[in-house]
């Protein structure tokens, strides 16, 4: 099992991003930028500060509508779908184990994990108290 923590500074950055995340079966592709800021999410997925960038729980946020809907199809992701994450350290694939609504205040999904996991979050239209969350466990 993997797990642990990798600082974003340990990855090579190209054109401002340090990786790419995709769910091919759902038409999702986004470059990953450091920090889940509004500006970064206009360009792709924002890496959540304080979460690992490679080992452990890697967490991203993205817009799902408007001019930058990189996570627009996240709401269609289902358990069993495959997520691919590419960085200068390699390529990881994850199998989705959870896809559903969580409270916006539920930050436990960002906590460190023993194994390698990916967590992707986006807002839900007209429901500001909730987020749509997709969690995947590394496939070995």
Please tell me which residue in 17, 47, 61, 63 is annotated as part of the active site: 63
Phi-psi region at 34: left, alpha or beta (left = phi > 0; alpha = psi -120 to 50)? beta
Decide: 53 and 86 in contact? Cβ < 8 Å.
no
Decide: 70 and 30 in contact? Cβ < 8 Å.
yes
123 given a catalytic annotation: yes
Please tell me which residue in 17, 47, 61, 123 is annotated as part of the active site: 123
Phi-psi region at 50: left, alpha or beta (left = phi > 0; alpha = psi -120 to 50)? left
17 given a catalytic annotation: no
Q: Which residues are catalytic?
A: 63, 123
């Amino acid at each position: 099992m993997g797990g642990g923590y990798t600082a974003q500074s340990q990855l090579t950055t190209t054109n401002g991003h340090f990786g790419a995340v995709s769910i091919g079966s759902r038409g999702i592709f986004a470059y990953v930028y450091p920090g889940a800021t509004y500006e970064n999410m206009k360009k792709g997925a924002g890496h959540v500060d304080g979460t690992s960038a490679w080992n452990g729980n890697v967490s991203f946020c993205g817009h799902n509508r408007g001019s930058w809907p990189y996570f627009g199809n996240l709401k269609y992701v289902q358990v069993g779908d495959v997520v691919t994450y590419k960085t200068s350290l390699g390529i990881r694939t994850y199998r989705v184990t959870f896809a559903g609504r969580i409270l916006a205040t539920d930050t436990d999904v960002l906590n460190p994990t023993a194994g390698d996991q990916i967590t992707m979050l986006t807002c839900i239209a007209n429901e500001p108290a909730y987020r749509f969350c997709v969690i995947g466990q590394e496939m070995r």
